[in-house]
Amino acid sequence: MLLVKQELLGSLAAGLERLLPGAGDKAAFESPKAAAHGDLACTAAMQLAKPLKQNPRQVAESLRAALLEAQPFRRWVEAIDIAGPGFLNIKLKPEAKQQVIKEVLASGSAFGAQPASARRMMVEFVSANPTGPLHLGHGRQAALGDAMCNLYATQGWQVHREFYYNDAGVQIATLAMSTQLRAKGVKPGDPQWPETAYNGEYIQDIADDFLAGKTVKADDREFTASGDVDDLESIRQFAVAYLRHEQDLDLKAFEVKFDNYFLESSLYTGGKVDNTVKRLQQAGKTYEQDGALWLKSTEYGDDKDRVMRKSDGTYTYFVPDVAYHIDKWERGFTKAINIQGTDHHGTIARVRAGLQAADVGIPLGYPDYVLHTMVRVMKGGEEVKISKRAGGYVTLRDLIEWTSKDAVRFFLASRKADTEYTFDVDLALAKNNDNPVYYVQYAHARICSVLGAWGGDAATLKDADLSPLQSPQALSLMLQLAKYPEMLHDAAVDMAPHDVTFYLRELAATYHSYYDAERILVDDEPVRKARLALVAATAQVLHNGLAVLGVSAPQKM
């Protein structure tokens, strides 16, 4: 139906152009608010009424007459009605809706995707400090970030996944201190145990392996413990490598892969922080006050100027962030999306201010931010707050082990990022229609069962005569399939992977309604083949949408 819509859109543009030269660019279709109103709607008559100095309904009448004469409308449109002040409601012929089946079966996994382009973008997500296991906030980032990457890839972008490691600073020092104390036999609750130390049992695991002189290997490093409890530097490096490896296991369980792990420390050792500060100073965007170096961030919309370098000579945390994003831009990423917790809200204005003040050609609004809230976990009707392993929070791996990778991915991507979310473990395990991921996966498996019972060659369905597909349920399912490409486009523009979950649930519901209304494996071969083509196309779109979320499409359940 993509071709059908393109042909109709071209005719609409030509009709608008005849009414008012230059108005062709206003050609657009919308979805009617009620299915009974038609399949497509157009509001252009209201937009042209004022410049044409006519009543909107008069414009609608003229436009309707012009469209009814156009060959694509004669071919694909059953009726055009005028409603209200000048809405055009367009009802398509069944054969127009049937075209989507041919498009899906011809395109397969590429249905809905745009051609690859040279546009490069980076999505930075998870970016956990190597001081403990990944918690559910990181899990929500992983689900949102990976789906965001897949979503933009369908729109032709070259997408780069990056994990930013804050491997310097107070938290790493606290990790080393906590591990050293455990290695010396001091534990939480003892008088010598500091309030700032990390309490999780994983600290004891690190200490035990350090004392045993073990070697740990992560994606970007390998380190062998000295076993000397007084060797704080060895403890630090071993603990970081140990937790890097643990986080690798978390990400592997979630099936998330990154193209690059970027170390914050490299911004200092590579001179990029110093270079960024020099750029800002040379641009006249800084000043000295009270022994500190300040950025004139109010010149770029911030509510107050920000300290860059404190009186003790150390940089505030947003300075390396500015250096990091200059580095992203210089690596050719014309679009960048950061997925972070809502506690990073205050960072946005100062980072963007620093990028504009550096005057290196970065556009306003770079980078984009998607900020997410934390996740509550319910199990057995009660909130789960503590994991013994983590010492205070449920980990991502806990949640995967309790449910499944598919459930965690689908659930954590199923709400707008800034919306509070409660993960219900019992619901994620339920095998019924209340469980959204089960409901969608079951629709796919149900179709695979039908195709398996048929046992024919699926390739032959591409040439099926689709004219028997005339029932309201079949037509509704075809219209739902046709929405998929536009949904992907809009979800990418809005940075809203949750739209994919909403769409899949609606598609599954539409399919289940169709399945209940019409038997597929009937004796009449042309009817059977047409219905099989429809459900095969539905399975393909379900598969494609689940793939965007990183969720499997099982053939049996």
- Are 389 and 448 contained in the same domain? no
The CATH number for 490's domain is 1.10.730.10
For residue 82, being part of any structural domain is answered with yes
As for how many domains the chain has, the answer is 3
- Are 77 and 200 contained in the same domain? no
What does the DSSP 8-state code read for residue 502?
H
- Are 31 and 132 contained in the same domain? no
Query: How much is the pLDDT for 393?
Result: 76
For residue 275, being part of any structural domain is answered with no
- Are 250 and 146 contained in the same domain? yes
- Are 43 and 79 contained in the same domain? yes
- Are 148 and 237 contained in the same domain? yes
Q: E strands within 127-233?
A: 158-165, 215-218, 221-224
Given a contact cutoff of 8 angstroms between Cβ atoms, the answer to whether 186 and 159 are in contact is no
- Are 28 and 176 contained in the same domain? no
- Are 182 and 204 contained in the same domain? yes
Both ends of the chain: CA-CA distance in Å?
31
- Laid out side by side, the sheet with 335-341 consists of 260-263, 158-165, 120-124, 335-341, 368-372
pLDDT less than 70: residues of the chain: 386-392
- Are 400 and 439 contained in the same domain? no
Nearest-angstrom CA–CA distance, 48 and 25: 12
* Last residue within a domain, chosen from 92, 116, 137: 92
Q: Which two tokens stand for residue 390?
A: 């983590």
Given a contact cutoff of 8 angstroms between Cβ atoms, the answer to whether 447 and 536 are in contact is yes
Query: How much is the pLDDT for 385?
Result: 77
For residue 404, being part of any structural domain is answered with yes
For residue 314, being part of any structural domain is answered with no
For residue 503, being part of any structural domain is answered with yes
- Are 395 and 264 contained in the same domain? yes
User: Longest C-alpha distance within the chain, in Å?
Assistant: 88
* Last residue within a domain, chosen from 429, 451, 469: 429
Domain encompassing residue 30: 2-92
- Are 265 and 383 contained in the same domain? yes
Q: Which two tokens stand for residue 378?
A: 């319910």
For residue 257, being part of any structural domain is answered with yes
- Are 183 and 136 contained in the same domain? yes
For residue 307, being part of any structural domain is answered with no
pTM metric for this prediction: 0.91
**Phi, psi (5° rounding) for residue 82?**
-105, 130
Query: How much is the pLDDT for 374?
Result: 87
Query: How much is the pLDDT for 391?
Result: 58
